[in-house]
Copies of this chain bind each other. A is one copy, B any other.
Amino acid sequence: MAMSSPRRIPEATVARLPVYQRILLELVRAGARTVSSDQLADMARVNASKVRKDLSFLGSFGTRGSGYEADFLLAQIDRELGLDRDWPVTVVGLGNLGRALANSPGFSSRGFRVASLFDVDPTLVDSRIRGVVVHHLDEYETVTSSDPPAIGVIATPASAAQSVADRMVRSGVGSLLNFAPRVLNVPAHVLLRYVDLSIELQVLSFYLSHGDHPGTQAASSPLPHALGLTPAEPG
């Protein structure tokens, strides 16, 4: 085989790959050697043919009769998701949410690295979170110029979010993950994901009021949007 195949992976599949990734990670850690599309489907709450079809876009990695080798499949998904690269991430806004994000395992996992942190609160500036120093937002351009972030995470209050987004875009960030409860206006070439607790709750509210889960089986996660996560305190 000569070149990377020009397989086009459907958007709906892309949205599910991270879910399979997370499941496989847990299974591998628990010592699983192989996994079937049925198992994956149960855990991801989707249909088994969907799992097989999704995985088939990456290649034919299963073994008929026994399933997929868990760690090998995981490696293929990681590669497809681009987790074999190193994506520098910057986080602006280090209140509870920003700290939760900056401390979360999501940033210590393969693929991502907290490159810089910013806030405007003088009591936070110069402190460190997991070894990374918090700079004043005034220094954004200076600090990021040496290691330009691929992803900008916005965890500021709503009122500051748009100007932070503008600033990040102006200095060339390729994608934004917005956790501030505000709709952002950015150029179309910037990849943007908007994650908002109200939005999550409202979807639940709809299905609770209509007493009716989606038809047969609801999707697992087309194009998501969500809040981050982070552990509570150790005792």
Contacts and interface: CB of A to CB of B under 8 A. Distances in A.
Nearest to A151: B204
A219 B183 contact: no
Given A204-B191, A226-B199, A11 B215 contact: yes
Nearest to A204: B175
Contact of A217 (B14, B96, B217, B231): B231
Nearest to A78: B202
A107 B196 CA distance: 11
Contact of A209 (B85, B123, B177): B85
A158 to B, nearest CB: 7
A14 B206 contact: yes
A223 B231 contact: no
A155 interface: yes
Given A15-B203, A89-B201, A100-B97, A218 B224 contact: yes
A227 interface: yes
Given A183-B44, A228-B97, A230-B96, A18 B208 contact: no
A137 to B, nearest CB: 11
A195 B157 contact: no
Nearest to A195: B226
Given A18-B202, A179-B229, 7 more contacts: A11-B218, A19-B194, A42-B231, A45-B188, A191-B218, A195-B195, A203-B227
